[in-house]
Structure 1
Amino acid sequence: MMATKLKGLGRGLDALLMPEPTKMATAAASGIPMLKISELQAGKYQPRRRFDDAALAELAASIKAQGIMQPIVVRKTETGAHEIIAGERRFRAAQLAGLTEVPVVIKEVDDKTALTLALIENLQRQDLNAIEEAEGIQRLIAEFKFTHEQAADAVGKSRSAVSNLLRLLELAKPVQDRVVAGSLEMGHARALASLPKDKQVMLAENIAINGLSVRATEALVKAQNHPAEDSKRPGVPTGKTKQQKLALPLVRDADLDRLETELADALGTYVEISHQATGQGELVIRYASLDQLDGLIGRMKR
């Protein structure tokens, strides 16, 4: 099976690439094929969604001075064009540098192998964020019927690491966007995954605004998932007895939900309003660190 054949690919691309030339001219002289840039097309299995403009400009300047140090891996399509398997960043930088042709390694591979190789190249160069990694692995599973274990073997990761990555695709879209943009780390995102999506978005903003650590985020998420545990800690008032709470039923309506959301947005943290039929109630504002508490108090004083 193809999945079995792909098992060793996670160890590297060296077997697919020719020895690296020191100059593009050296590449041509050493017999490495050269193709016109116009003959290349972006790979349909490229896992990267985001290319940093500044980094591309820097690479383009290096290519102008030194040439392309490693050939671009391509495969020939039915239309006669050459689709990029590995090296799209070099391809884009070569375009910026004004090159008309680039060194290539032409491989005969199927779609499954093309996607796997594109993933491996980017993973080895640490070019992918966690969401891009997860999306690439999900394509192996959805399009090519890989099991989690087969996908893990193909990209050189443990099965648990693959499962954790795939969980990130269940996050709210705004939270995924923050991971892609770099304002949330993998650890932050993994902690948020256990919350409802509306709370994920709210806490993600809190993390970005207050610079919360992964550990602080995990503590805050735990407090939201298990609020009853706080009342069991020594020194924390237990509040009303069970009988008192039963005698004073809570009231929920759309206006109360709106006020809770508006206050949470204004403070940038989790807020809970418990309102009773008598008109009394409680306002709970959670914080994850003393720095965040200072910030909350400062906002309230304005």
Structure 2
Amino acid sequence: RRFFDEAALSELAESIKEHGVVQPIVVTPKGSNYLIVAGERRWRAAKKAGLEELPCIVRSMSGQNRLEISLIENLQRHDLNVLETATAYLKLRDQFNMTLEEIGKRLGGKSVSAVSNTLRLLRLPKSVRQAIFDGELSEGQARPLIGLPESVAESIMKKTIADGWSVRRVEQAVALWKQTQDNPVKEKKPADSPHAEAIESLSKHFGTGVKIRTNNKGAGQISITFKNKSEFDRIRQLLENS
């Protein structure tokens, strides 16, 4: 584990001073020393309480067994950071070649989708993961940002933190951004018509749409659009005064 809540650790230390270490920690031999497999939080609190010794259960186990036992214990803690859980899942998958189904079964029957969704949090940009780790952003607020470009995710994250956006508000912001990507504003291309300049000039003059059609001999017609009689009268007046 990387994160230990100091306030909770102090509270546990006070409890240990009064009642002692109720549950032994689990260790495994490593050279001439021992490696803590389960109970690092209790060990830290015991040191904080001034204890020089604490009860241990010594077990010989493989690296996979150590990780499994450590993760299982941590998952039972309410203060476990979701990114620490995701990182442990990743180790079980990549280092020990476990499937998501196997991971779920080993950890109390979690579904494949639950394990997969937790792993997906590791795809978030580093700055967003740090915000989760620091407690500025909840898992629910961060989840909609998965898969977004880093700059977009960071922008929405900053607004979420600054304005206290709800999960629903974050989802709306992400949906709005995706909508702009699905329907981008197309840049107007230069008109291909040989009469583009004349069309633009006449449209400005009459204040309405103008079309020019010509054949290969140069003959053709000019169409001026009007919506109602008053607009027709206005255009006719312009033509008569030209």
197 and 65 in structure 1: CA distance in 2 versus 1, 3 angstrom threshold: same
Given that 1:148 and 1:159 are in contact with CA atoms closer than 8 Å, whether structure 2 keeps it comes out as yes
**CA offsets, 1:235-263, max 9 Å, x none?**
xxxxx9x7xx53379xxxxxxxxxxxxxx
Q: Does 1:139 align with 2:91?
A: yes
Report the equivalent of 2:25.
72
184, 201, 210: which one pairs with 2:137? 184
163, 169, 173: which one pairs with 2:116? 163
**For this pair of structures, how many residues does the alignment match?**
190
- State the SS of the aligned residue for 2:61: coil
Given that 1:223 and 1:230 are in contact with CA atoms closer than 8 Å, whether structure 2 keeps it comes out as no
In structure 2, C-alpha distance between the alignment counterparts of 1:92 and 1:185, rounded to whole Å = 26
In structure 2, C-alpha distance between the alignment counterparts of 1:168 and 1:160, rounded to whole Å = 13
Given that 2:27 and 2:34 are in contact with CA atoms closer than 8 Å, whether structure 1 keeps it comes out as yes
* Greater RCO (CA < 8 Å, at least 6 residues apart): 1
In structure 2, C-alpha distance between the alignment counterparts of 1:100 and 1:188, rounded to whole Å = 43
Give how far 1:126 is off.
Answer: 2.4
Report the equivalent of 2:102.
150
CA RMSD of aligned residues (A): 2.1
Report the equivalent of 1:213.
166
| Aligned residue type for 2:135 | G
Give how far 1:109 is off.
Answer: 1.6
Given that 2:82 and 2:118 are in contact with CA atoms closer than 8 Å, whether structure 1 keeps it comes out as yes
Give how far 1:184 is off.
Answer: 1.2
In structure 2, C-alpha distance between the alignment counterparts of 1:248 and 1:164, rounded to whole Å = 47
The list of structure 1 runs, each at least 4 consecutive aligned residues, that deviate by more than 6 angstroms after superposition, is 228-231
| Aligned residue type for 1:62 | S
| Aligned residue type for 1:114 | R
Matches within 5 A, 1:199-210: 199-210=152-163
**CA offsets, 1:259-289, max 9 Å, x none?**
xxxxxxxxxxxxxxxxxxxxxxxxxxxxxxx
183 and 248 in structure 1: CA distance in 2 versus 1, 3 angstrom threshold: farther
192 and 151 in structure 1: CA distance in 2 versus 1, 3 angstrom threshold: same
**CA offsets, 1:100-133, max 9 Å, x none?**
1001112222110110111111111223211111
Identity %: 42
Give how far 1:141 is off.
Answer: 1.0
Structure 1 spans left out of the alignment, 5+ residues? 1-47, 232-239, 250-302
| Aligned residue type for 1:181 | D
In structure 1, C-alpha distance between the alignment counterparts of 2:166 and 2:183, rounded to whole Å = 21
TM-score of the superposed pair, with normalisation by structure 2: 0.73
Give how far 1:166 is off.
Answer: 1.1
Structure 2 spans left out of the alignment, 5+ residues? 192-242
Report the equivalent of 2:60.
108
| Aligned residue type for 1:103 | P
Matches within 5 A, 1:1-302: 48-77=1-30, 79-156=31-108, 157-227=110-180, 245-247=187-189
Structure label with greater radius of gyration: 2
TM-score of the superposed pair, with normalisation by structure 1: 0.59
